[in-house]
């Protein structure tokens, strides 16, 4: 039996009709989410919150260069607070679990000009200090009243966002255990952002923490440091890191020896990655099926495609946006680790079970998962595509019609193609 929206009785953890699936249509999950939000918000008495920062921060983009810098902390402490804001560790979790994390995180908003990152006051310095930590940090936030009870907001770029309120006071309640590698480069005001990001990544700092440090205006030349909206910093880290490894190293590695096919799926996203023994080029093709929520009323599949050949891209990938750089990051990681070069073509089929977007991180993590598995190896591209066609739900002819990289590989003969 499903609880009605008007009741104040929490719905069961597992819905009888949908067997635990999220966003399937029944109203029980909506009520369950409301009850969790209400419990979390009501526990913030007088706008005062003492908790453990994941550590986490969100920087808005609306109104740029005037933005909100927002440290985050969970209201209801349930397990490891770090997990609440670490997309690098979310792969395999249900969307319901992820949304539950985010609706428990309260944001305290500070209105700032992005240029203030170059000369932060004591409050901003303490927020920045939490982001250098190696584990959750005890903090106290004095909010401008109780956070509003409203649903999570969703984005194709960043993770879902929960309750928020103005921030009057922010203070550490303990000394954070900082990562010395981050602390050193934050203190180095002569190091460029790219150099710092590459060095930190090589030193084991995850992509998720890197984009938070960049977003909080902690990297780059001291006088030029700025707060960077979260949606921009996520794309920037993926783009800068993958671009660096491609241009500086991958293009000089030997080519892979065969045609490799990898696959993985997560949250109704199905990824198939073909690596070909050719010089570096890359293409991401995404498709919504006919009749899907983002392709309603159409009898044809809806494609979004972006690509780059050996010379690279000179403009932003408008069609596939952040997903383009997130997937490229995962592929660059793999090739860099293997010390190999390849042409990569990625097929992404997007399901339609009504799931809201939980952020672009899922593209990076799903392709990372695919490339972590043993590939199927073929002797030529025709056999590779023939096998892949048995797995795709959208006929191969539609993909070939939209692909510039596959068209080049199938039509342009090379000396090595002849005996």
Q: Check pLDDT > 50 for residue 204.
A: yes
Nearest 10 degrees: Cα torsion 337, 342, 343, 346: -40
Q: Return mean pLDDT, the chain.
A: 86
The separation between the first and the last C-alpha atoms of the chain, rounded to the nearest angstrom, is 69
pLDDT at position 45 is 59
Distance of alpha carbon 405 from alpha carbon 391, whole angstroms? 20
Mean pLDDT, rounded, for 60-72: 94
pLDDT at position 152 is 61
pLDDT at position 180 is 96
Cis bond upstream, residue 64 (ω within 30) = no
Instruction: Kindly indicate the confidence band of residue 117, based on its pLDDT and cuts at 50, 70 and 90.
Output: very high
Q: Under a CB-based contact definition with an 8 Å cutoff, are residues 329 and 371 in contact?
A: no
Distance of alpha carbon 6 from alpha carbon 9, whole angstroms? 9
Q: Which of 163, 101, 391 is nearest to 262 (CA)?
A: 391
User: Which residues on adjacent β-strands are paired with residue 271?
Assistant: 264, 348
Instruction: Kindly indicate the confidence band of residue 103, based on its pLDDT and cuts at 50, 70 and 90.
Output: confident
pLDDT at position 387 is 98
Radius of gyration of the chain (CA): 23
Residue percentage of the chain with pLDDT more than 70: 82
Instruction: Kindly indicate the confidence band of residue 96, based on its pLDDT and cuts at 50, 70 and 90.
Output: confident
Distance of alpha carbon 150 from alpha carbon 184, whole angstroms? 40
Instruction: Kindly indicate the confidence band of residue 40, based on its pLDDT and cuts at 50, 70 and 90.
Output: low
Rank 157-171, 191-205, 287-301 by mean pLDDT and report only the highest.
Answer: 191-205
Is residue 213 exposed (0-12), middle (13-18) or buried (19+ Cβ within 10 Å)?
A: buried
Q: Under a CB-based contact definition with an 8 Å cutoff, are residues 259 and 381 in contact?
A: yes
pLDDT at position 356 is 75
pLDDT at position 225 is 97
Q: Check pLDDT > 50 for residue 265.
A: yes
Q: What are the residue ranges spanned by the domains of the chain?
A: 1-42, 44-248, 251-414
Q: What is the pTM of this model?
A: 0.88
Alpha helices in 216-321 (DSSP H): 230-248
Instruction: Kindly indicate the confidence band of residue 415, based on its pLDDT and cuts at 50, 70 and 90.
Output: low
Distance of alpha carbon 15 from alpha carbon 2, whole angstroms? 7
Q: Check pLDDT > 70 for residue 149.
A: no
Q: Under a CB-based contact definition with an 8 Å cutoff, are residues 404 and 273 in contact?
A: no
pLDDT at position 224 is 94
* pLDDT tens per residue, range 293-333: 555 556 678 899 999 999 999 999 999 999 999 999 999 99
pLDDT at position 46 is 63
Residue percentage of the chain with pLDDT more than 90: 68
Q: Check pLDDT > 50 for residue 31.
A: no
For CA atoms 286, 215, 332, 268, the dihedral sign is: negative
pLDDT at position 361 is 95
Distance of alpha carbon 39 from alpha carbon 24, whole angstroms? 24
Instruction: Kindly indicate the confidence band of residue 100, based on its pLDDT and cuts at 50, 70 and 90.
Output: confident
Mean pLDDT, rounded, for 218-246: 97
pLDDT at position 1 is 29
Put the strands of the sheet holding 259-266 in their side by side order: 302-308, 281-288, 343-350, 269-276, 259-266, 376-378
* pLDDT tens per residue, range 350-409: 876 566 788 899 999 999 999 999 999 999 999 999 999 999 999 999 999 999 999 999
pLDDT at position 413 is 66
pLDDT at position 38 is 57
């Amino acid at each position: 039996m499903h609880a009605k929206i008007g009741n104040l009785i929490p719905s069961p953890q597992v819905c009888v009709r949908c067997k635990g699936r999220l966003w399937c249509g029944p109203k029980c999950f909506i009520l369950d989410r409301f009850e969790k939000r209400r419990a979390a918000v009501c526990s913030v008495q007088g706008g005062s919150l003492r908790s453990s920062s994941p550590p986490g921060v969100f920087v808005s983009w609306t109104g740029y260069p005037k933005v909100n810098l927002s440290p985050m902390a969970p209201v209801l402490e349930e397990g490891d607070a770090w997990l609440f804001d670490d997309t690098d560790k979310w792969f395999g979790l249900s969307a319901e679990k992820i949304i539950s994390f985010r609706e428990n995180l309260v944001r305290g908003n500070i209105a700032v000009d992005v240029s203030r990152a170059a000369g932060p006051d004591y409050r901003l310095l303490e927020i920045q200090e939490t982001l250098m930590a190696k584990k959750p940090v005890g903090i106290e936030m004095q909010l401008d009243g109780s956070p509003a009870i409203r649903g999570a907001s969703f984005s194709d770029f960043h993770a879902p966002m929960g309750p928020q309120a103005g921030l009057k006071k922010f203070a550490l309640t303990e000394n954070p255990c900082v990562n010395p590698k981050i602390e050193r480069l934050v203190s180095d005001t002569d190091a460029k952002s790219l150099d710092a990001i590459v060095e930190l990544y090589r030193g084991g700092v995850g992509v998720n923490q890197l984009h938070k440090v960049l977003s909080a205006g902690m990297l780059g030349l001291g006088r030029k440091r700025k707060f960077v909206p979260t949606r921009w910093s996520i794309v920037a880290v993926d783009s800068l890191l993958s671009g660096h490894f491609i241009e500086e190293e991958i293009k000089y590695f030997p080519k892979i020896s065969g045609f490799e096919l990898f696959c993985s799926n997560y949250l109704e996203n199905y990824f198939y990655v073909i690596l070909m023994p050719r010089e570096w080029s890359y293409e991401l093709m995404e498709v919504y099926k006919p009749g899907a929520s983002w392709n309603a009323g159409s009898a044809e599949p809806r494609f979004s495609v972006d690509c780059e050949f050996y010379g690279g891209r000179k403009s932003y990938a408008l069609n596939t946006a952040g997903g383009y750089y997130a997937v490229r990051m995962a592929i660059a990681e793999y090739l860099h680790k293997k010390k190999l070069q390849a042409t990569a073509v990625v097929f992404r089929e997007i399901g339609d079970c009504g799931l809201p977007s939980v952020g672009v991180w899922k593209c990076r993590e799903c392709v990372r998962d695919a490339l972590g598995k043993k590939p199927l190896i073929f002797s030529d591209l025709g056999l590779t595509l023939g096998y892949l066609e048995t797995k795709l739900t959208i006929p191969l002819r539609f993909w070939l019609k939209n692909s510039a990289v596959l068209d080049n590989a199938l039509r342009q003969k090379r000396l090595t193609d002849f005996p």
